[in-house]
A and B are shown apart, each in its own frame.
Chain A
Amino acid sequence: MLLSEQAYTKIDKELAKYPADQRSSAIMSSLRIAQEENGWLSSDLIAEIAGYIGVEPIAVQEVATFYDMFDMKPVGKFKITVCTNLPCALRDGVKTAEYIKEKLGIGFGETTPDGTFTLKEGECMGACGDSPILLVNNHHMCVRMSQEKIDEMLADMLKEAQA
């Protein structure tokens, strides 16, 4: 049992959405639940989910590595994903990403040495009109992020990480 009891309860709820002989359909949500709890997906977790669903680990590994929002390596306490695609770029998406890189001293795909921040380049989050947008830890969308708002947010997160 690598996950909490609540996590397995959540996975069971997902499994109930699909026909009894189609448990694989819950792989994606199970991985999401596991990552929410553990921060990233280790090989052990992949094997654990595979065992719980009842498929070979490779079937789960394949899903985990295909979808961008899964992290196969440890990430910082706060993972920030910025969209830099054309519609966002026309409204300062690229500038925002460059600004965060400079503030944190890291590039895309990197984590700050203190383990607080990971920066990622995302692709279309389907919220282009609200650009600059970024996702925090996959599930929290920040919209219209001016440099002042980013300064405030990063300082706040750093404080939280050190608390």
Chain B
Amino acid sequence: MSGRVRLAIAHLGAALPLVAILALIATGVTTVLGPGASLFATTLFINIILVVSLQVFVGNSGIVSFGHGAFIATGAYVSGLLTLPVEVKAAALPRLPEFLAAIELPLLPATAISALVAGFVAFLVGVPTARLVGAAASIATFAFLVITNGVLVGAADLTRGTQTFYGLRPLASLDVVLVGAAAVVAAGLAFRRSSFGLRLQASAEDELAASASGIDVRQLRLIAWVLSAMISAVGGAFLAHMLTSFAPSTFYLTQTLALLTMLILGGQRSVTGAVAGTVVVTAVFEGLRRAENGIDLGPLHFSGMFGLQQLGLGAFLLIAIRLRREGLLGRRELTLNSLFRRRHQAERPSLDLSRDGNHVAGGVER
């Protein structure tokens, strides 16, 4: 076996513990909470896909992205257009181009195509903006989200504009989504540990030093951006086929903030952290929803009606941040290596940053 193949297997194998945990969660949830909970489990795994896709970009490049909702939407609308039954399309989208109106694909090919479209868009947008960092980059991603939202609303012939895009077949079964989540997690871990990922993380730590070492930072950022866009689209496609109806607002500010919350709470530096954060926030939100006995809408939905839910979630977040500043897991990953490695005792630092109030002056976000 060549070195490369062995390395690839090592990367994938390293993901085993996490994947195993995901499978456990899936079976555990459905057996303990009953079949009604399969909706919750499906939501959870879709969220995991979406948050890990964010992690691939944010966690490696250090740039907070508000723009991934655009790719999630791309995944949803493109795959939806491809899987929608022809009769529904004729009724809901009378002015579709001929080739789209006639086509009806199964979920997986549609998802794959939507991922390619998202990747292409990401590439187009990423090339001019790859040089931005920090707050400027984040603003650019936010602008991208707003622009995409506007396009979705405006291209009513394809998307039904602000009206609900409905009639999708409920193709996102728990099995499919679970496999998808496992694959995405493995991919995220592999990327993070690959030479691409490592070089990108180095550049996020110290851009000057990295580029002096010959690392082409822009190219790496672009790769991470495109890859994460494609994964987001996959998540978006699954989300669309679970919800079976949606609108541009589904993929706008509320969802963006929710996903960012899950990522940052868990610790954006690691895939394991992203997963952990997603699980915790989704579970807490679900728990609060049941406690409040509200209306069953399935996916995470910060709506004004769920007052107690949001309040509770916000309070929970503040407390969690207070207790664990770097996110739940910081930078640690759960991999085969980490399970068998011995822990060193870290000395307690004498520098008490919380009291000193030191902060990094300047505009960079890490």
Please say whether chains A and B are actual partners in one complex. Answer: no
Chain A interfacial positions (CB closer than 8 Å to B): none
